[in-house]
Chain A
Amino acid sequence: MKLSELADKLGAQIVANVERAGDAQVERFHVSDRISDLLNFASDETLLVTGLVNMHLARVAELMDAPGICLLDGLAPDAPLLEAALRRGIVLMISESGCEETAGLLRACLHEEVCEEPD
């Protein structure tokens, strides 16, 4: 699914690279607040969903070719993250809702294609 479409359905606001969101496709998402975890599950079709707001997210997304990052609880990215996302062409969106609600919506949007976080 296109990131722009997904942002619409989530009611999320795209704050970086909105012009790319129409092209970027994701098929699954991964929720975690741990960098190692995001690194391990990210792919070129994964939306990274996280409560973190620092620039290392952009690095992980860049390294693993993940097209987008979704922040939670309406938290704004810190300036270095915003700048890094812009520079590396990573779509950055902010979901107003919390982790569970966002994950639920994403799961509904992406059907069975989701990659669930292991216990």
Chain B
Amino acid sequence: MKSCSYQISGGDYANAGAASSDLKAVLKRIGVEPAAIRRTIIAAYEAETNVVIHASRGEMRVTIGPGQIDVEVDDDGPGIPDIAQAMKEGFSTASAAARELGFGAGMGLPNIRKSSDRFTLESTVGQGTRLRFTVHLKAHPVVAAVSSGVKISAERCTGCLRCLRVCPTQALRVRRGPNVPAILEHLCINCAECIAACEPGALAVSAAAALPDPKGRSLLIPSSFLYQFGAGVGPESVRRALSELGFAEVRELGPWHEALRRATEECAAHPKALPVISPACLAVVNLIEMRFPSLIRNLAPFLSPIEGAGRDWAAAGKSVMVASCPSECAALLLRPATERLEADIIPPALLAQKVMPLVAAKRGAESSTASLELKNSDSRTRTTTRTRMTTRTSTSTTGDPLEVTGIRHVMRVLEEVENGLLPDVRVLELFACDQGCFGSPLLKEDAFISRHRARSGPAAKEARAVRREKPFTARAGLRLDEDMAKAIAKLSEIEKLRRTLPGKDCALCGAPTCDALAEDIILGRTACSISDCRMMTQK
């Protein structure tokens, strides 16, 4: 709980609103969701000006809990004889002087009631008025949806600290002796950077560890999976191998990527904000929700391809889905209980192990398979244009989208968009991995090579983009504490401690930067102390 109180002087028009300004700054610093700030501030400002207009003295007391803000405003004004009348829009007893300034429109109390979730008013004529309102805060904005899709096997960690350095949001810590990597879930965007950097395999994707029985099940694979088995093995051989394994039906994610791209481009014809950003990569969506909340309205309102496919397949009964990155895993595995899929989620490697011997045997027997296949696809559904994430036919009506791949480039581009420096781009397609989903560290083949091969692959069945039912929501990722009161107190402590640290960001303490260590110590996140700093203990 955080409490603060403000004295309000009646008639002091010059400072009317000062308490509300201060309150707003507090709410922002502790990461309250913008819509709740807006409602609170409208109500607080109206209540504050009421005191200035009608009373000689008043006090605003604010209590902020994790779930709500309670505001109580007392004044020693003349009191309200008829509360029902005062609540009517347009009724006002403000002085002519106040009206001249634009106050006294008779909308103050109705405004407070509209903006708050609970509102009470008590008044005694000749003694004063007490007004109370409450605004509910979203305590944990979408935390469930972004639980990390990264699985940690601490026994494999060698303490090399590479993951700390590559994590774009500083979400990783490696406490030493014994080495234990840990993910701060509120900061993790489920990109695959740490998995790519982790050579000993301590970090992996949190999917099933064994391939379920394929008999009669349908299978969804990323299109890139078809191009993982070398130059001699074309997509048709992989498909044959998959049906030999017993899968009843095999579908690729490519068409959902295609459909999303078309839908996003259509969106750009009537945009809410430009550029329209495709939600194709969930790690990018997470990044926007956490770091770039002002760009949430730029996101096209569709499900990502894997979520769309999951939705389409939810009715299809038991299936197996190959997730090619932590963000896809998290999207499929960590859904609310009501939307849980009857699907087993597996990493590509599990399936590749089974496919490899089948296609390897074939390769010896029919060495010309690949070239035959290419001829076949030539005559049938030879794709007409170059590949993006998949084979694609040109349907663009708004010019080509700008495609950006690789998390660091993505972050730079998003910053440019936020600063208004990209007015010449209408559609943005951003992927956290290099070369998009072909570049997932869970795939064996080099991204450039597999993507090049996919260019000449056959077109797959059509799919459609699925509109989102839930809007994208900002994540209070940088919030210091769930209890916003503590958050405020901690902020200054962290700053104080940080100034005593060397500022070299060597990461030997197990936190990626000195800032992060200071934050960890003050927040008591994992067992750590200032003695973890190697540079300070050496002196």
Contacts and interface: CB of A to CB of B under 8 A. Distances in A.
B101 interface: yes
Contact of B101 (A35, A37, A38, A43): A35
A25 B17 contact: no
A74 interface: no
B416 to A, nearest CB: 13
Nearest to A62: B21
Contact of A33 (B42, B45, B102): B102
B515 to A, nearest CB: 27
Interface stretch (B103-111, B165-173, B312-320, B432-440): B103-111
Given A34-B105, A37-B105, A54-B101, A59 B16 contact: yes
A36 B108 contact: yes
B38 A64 contact: yes
A14 B20 CA distance: 27
Interface of A is mostly: helix
Contact of A56 (B38, B46, B101): B101
A50 B419 CA distance: 29
A18 interface: no
Given A34-B105, A36-B107, A63-B21, A56 B13 contact: yes
A39 B45 contact: yes
A56 B101 CA distance: 8
Among A33, A35, A57, residue most surrounded by chain B Cβ atoms (within 10 Å)? A35
A43 to B, nearest CB: 8
Q: What are the 4 closest A-B residue pairs judged by CB atoms, nearest first?
A: A36-B107, A34-B105, A59-B17, A35-B102
A36 B99 CA distance: 11
A27 B17 CA distance: 26
A54 B41 contact: no
B42 A52 contact: no
Interface residues of A, number: 23
Contacts of A54: 101-102
A116 interface: no
Nearest to A2: B420
Contacts of B49: 35
B14 interface: yes
B24 interface: yes
A21 B17 CA distance: 25
A64 B41 contact: yes
Given A35-B103, A36-B107, A63-B45, A55 B24 contact: no
Given A39-B42, A64-B38, 18 more contacts: A33-B102, A34-B103, A34-B105, A34-B107, A35-B101, A35-B102, A36-B105, A36-B107, A37-B107, A38-B102, A39-B46, A40-B42, A43-B38, A50-B102, A56-B101, A56-B102, A59-B21, A63-B45
A56 B102 CA distance: 9
A63 B24 contact: yes
A19 interface: no
A63 B20 contact: yes
A101 to B, nearest CB: 21
A115 B20 CA distance: 25
Contacts of B105: 34-37
A98 interface: no
A80 B101 CA distance: 13
A27 to B, nearest CB: 9
Nearest to B273: A27
A25 B108 CA distance: 29
Of B38, B45, B102, most A-chain CB atoms within 10 Å: B102
A35 B24 CA distance: 18
Contact of B111 (A40, A57, A63, A64): A40
A36 B21 contact: no
Interface string B1-38: 00000000000011011001100100000000000001
A36 B45 CA distance: 9
